[in-house]
Amino acid sequence: MQTRKLGNSNLEVSALGLGCMGMSFSYGTVHDENEMISLMHKAVDLGVTFFDTAEVYGPYTNEVLVGKALSPIRDKVVIATKFGFNLNPDGSPGWQGLNSRPEQIKAVAEASLKRLNIDAIDLFYQHRVDPDVPIEEVAGAVKELIQEGKVKHFGLSEAGVQTIRRAHAVQPVTALQSEYSLWWRKPEAEVIPTLEELGIGFVPYSPLGKGFLTGKMDDKTELSKGDFRNTLPRFTPEARKANQAFVALLESIAQQKQATPAQIALAWLLAQKPWIVPIPGTTKLSRLEENLSSIAIELSAEDLRNIHEVISKVPVEGERYPEHLEKITGR
């Protein structure tokens, strides 16, 4: 397994990580715990060292699952989790708003450590920027946790350029986690150049477009009742039908490389910068193996130019989030 360093930090991880959210949250199905633990162990056997979770996934249940799977093999893995929401008091899915007050950050850290059954969080992200709390206070709170040995690295998620700069000035930011894929390339304009300048790693989530870039979905695909993609403008049946043209082009490129669309989408991301580490999620061993095989696919400069030329001709139908969720990204 190839490894990569996240920016200028000493945090070295597998070239692809594993997003664990879908094992217990967001896609309408809670999978068998033992099967998911087995999948995570298989990922480690295949060389994956980087695992992503958050307190809001469940809430709490995904951290517990990850802790059960990975705390017994703690020395082999890097675990990332997140803070930043006021969760529903009754423990039901969802949240009541943003909360990155320093006392909240420290309370979440303590609770996450217990659920994960570990002594220190390797990478602690602010899940979304809280406009009511200066980012300097957020960075300062995480800095104190690092000094106490409870956290090793500080991360941000879906933060804008000015927020990244201000946070980094207080406590060096090891990684930014934001959506980035062949059909969401907005970070290329300002975010990626800023990360390169400051020496911050980039961890793209939804690198396969929440499953759409695998080529396994169309307008007739039935999403289960609790699947959060039902709320996304880009996943209405009409949008999925229109976006088949995008996937068809990706499939044609994949055929030329004797690969799958998912593998090309991941290989493309890996080819952008050596400090980019995508975290595709899956609940299936076959998909895990397929995704990891993308690391061996080498795309030349000409390949990348061709992909850009072909893909840029096809517009993507639908926004990635409904307006109320889009408002809390890119701050």
Which residues are within 8 A (CB) of 280 and not within 5 positions of it... i.e. 6 or more apart? 16, 18, 19, 207, 208, 262, 266, 291
Scored b (16 or more CB within 10 A) or e, 68-104 reads: bbbeeeeeebbbbbbbbbebeeeeeeebeebbbbeeb
Angstrom distances, CA of residue 227 to CA of 6, 166, 192, 231, 283: 31, 36, 30, 8, 14
Looking at the chain, list the stretches that DSSP marks H as alpha helix, in order from N- to C-terminal side.
33-45, 61-70, 102-116, 135-147, 161-170, 191-198, 237-242, 244-256, 261-272, 285-293, 301-311, 323-326
Are 146 and 171 in contact by the 8 Å Cβ rule? The answer is yes
**Catalytic residue positions?**
57
Number of H helices, E strands in the chain: 12, 11
Phi, psi of 25 (to 5 degrees): -160, 145
What is the Cα–Cα distance from 120 to 16, expressed in whole angstroms? 22
**Which run of H or of E encompasses 126?**
strand 121-126
